[in-house]
Amino acid sequence: MSAEETAPAPARASHDSDIPANLEQFLLSGWKAFDPAPPPPVANAAAFAERRSRLGARFPGEHLFIGTGHEKVRANDTHYAFRPGSDFAWLTGNHEADCVLWLCPQADGSHRSVLFVEPVNRTDITFFKDRNKGELWVGRRLGLEHTPPRFGVDEARSLRELDEVVRGLPDARILPGIDPQLEALRPSTERDAELGAAAAELRLLKDAAELAELQTVIDATKRGFEDVIRALPTATSERDVEVIFYGRARREGNDVGYGTIAACGANACILHWTRNHAPLGKGELLLLDAGVEGHALYTADITRTLPVSGKFSPAQREIYELVWEAQQAAMAMVRPGIDFMAPNKEAMRVLARGLERLGILPNAEEALQQENQFYRRYSLHNISHMLGIDVHDCAKARQETYRYGKLLPGMVFTVEPGLYFQPDDQTVPAKYRGIGVRIEDDIVVTEDGYHNLSAHIPSEAGAVEQWIGSVQGAAR
């Protein structure tokens, strides 16, 4: 991250007028007292408290600081929409910029929760002057008084006190990689990285509140896909698709969880195609990889590959059915205790054998050998990543608990095989060139298998055609 990205935008802009002293006096008087009624507790307050105590229990007797990060400058004095740090949001439910959670050790081995927050500022001229922090610019805050009842923490303190507190605790652990101002107070250490890994590993297992949030956003994502399907007969570009899905994400949630991939025709062969500026061709496939991010910041991550016309061509259908077969085979083996990578291996076996059947790979068994892995020219990526409050969740978990770990009940991850035939790939029969297909569902490991949270979004080829027909029929 460059210094430019983290530097705060100026509190006043070049087009702001000066404030005469008399106006300042006038502005500081005549306000009603702040609403004395405490706000209602954040939804799932008990789950947040439980997460804090589980993280604290990993570090008895230690001071832990978890920041949420700062607004980032987009250009000059404008910011990107603030997205809270995922660990901080997971521990508190608080979505304000700049805040820091302090887990302060107690004699009994537990931790007190202290939230450093921006105070309310009606009595301080910054409420009028400061375009980044002023309540007249950005809206009212809970401040010190109303933060504890809202978030169930033991205490709220002003961010002005933070630096001094942290400097007085040289052995504290500071969550790395999220709050440059906090981390600048002293050099980062291996002990800080252990805190990051511990939070990520606790987040591997979703609690009931998280599973409910994930189901909510997956359901909203289904509606977003149906909005797109409804518009397909009149939509003219990938950009239309992106915007239609975004509308659903903003109406029902907070945002999209990642840049929508709306890839038509050969653009589907580019894994992270987010330029989305190409026209929609009637006979082509639309690969839509998109997810609604809900108010609690959990995101869906769903891919469907839809025939723009409503019907797959024979060549499109051959490839689609092979990817679907690989996905079904991978999901079918999911249960607690198997290797995280086992479904991936299974999917690749199915894909390689299918590629041999289609005359693309001369010999599947040879292609599958460890020293060859030739199928990867067409499959390009592994089929799973953890999913939660981040689209690529738990990224700081150690390899032995994630990539080389075993599946456990409560883990949520994607199953998303794909096949991508670049338009200029001479190893591929001409009829398949420019076809890209990915099918992605979000599943949770249960005590005896798995549950597909997105099973209600059709994926089998015939079911997809029927779905398109019925959604568009209903629209007429």
If one asks whether residue 305 binds Mn ion (CB under 5 A), the answer comes out as no
First to last CA, the chain: 49
Q: For 352, phi and psi rounded to 5 degrees?
A: -65, -45
Nearer to Mn ion (CB atom), residue 87 or residue 390? 390
Residues 311-350 that bind Mn ion (CB under 5 A): none
Nearer to Mn ion (CB atom), residue 414 or residue 422? 414
Nearest Cα residue to 152 out of 55, 35, 44: 44
Identify any residues that bridge with 293 across adjacent strands, giving them in sequence order. Answer: 255, 299
Residue ranges in 253-341 assigned as alpha helix (H) = 314-332
The single residue among 71, 210, 242, 301 that binds Mn ion, judged by CB under 5 A, is: 301
Closest approach of Mn ion to the CB of residue 301, in Å? 4
| Number of residue whose CB is nearest Mn ion | 301
If one asks whether residue 414 binds Mn ion (CB under 5 A), the answer comes out as yes
Residue ranges in 253-374 assigned as alpha helix (H) = 314-332, 342-357, 364-368
Length of the chain as a residue count: 476
If one asks whether residue 121 binds Mn ion (CB under 5 A), the answer comes out as no
Q: Segment contacting Mn ion (CB under 5 A): 13-21, 153-161, 264-272, 411-419?
A: 411-419
Closest approach of Mn ion to the CB of residue 280, in Å? 23
Provide the annotated active-site residues.
77, 272, 289, 301, 381, 385, 392, 416, 420, 438, 440
Q: Segment contacting Mn ion (CB under 5 A): 109-117, 299-307, 333-341, 417-425?
A: 299-307
Hey, is 134 helix, strand or coil? coil
- Total residues contacting Mn ion (rule CB under 5 A)? 2
Q: Segment contacting Mn ion (CB under 5 A): 132-140, 297-305, 338-346, 405-413?
A: 297-305
Closest approach of Mn ion to the CB of residue 268, in Å? 14
How far are the Cα atoms of 24, 241, 245, 292, 445 from residue 221, in angstroms, in the given order? 48, 13, 8, 5, 21
Nearer to Mn ion (CB atom), residue 267 or residue 414? 414
Q: List, in order, residues 6 or more apart from 100 with CB less than 8 Å away.
A: 65, 66, 67, 68, 88, 115, 116, 159, 162, 179, 182
Residues 377-396 that bind Mn ion (CB under 5 A): none
Count CB neighbours of 173 within 10 A.
22
H or E segment to which residue 173 belongs:
strand 173-174
Q: Segment contacting Mn ion (CB under 5 A): 131-139, 226-234, 407-415, 466-474?
A: 407-415
Closest approach of Mn ion to the CB of residue 82, in Å? 24
- Binding footprint of Mn ion on the chain (CB under 5 A): 301, 414
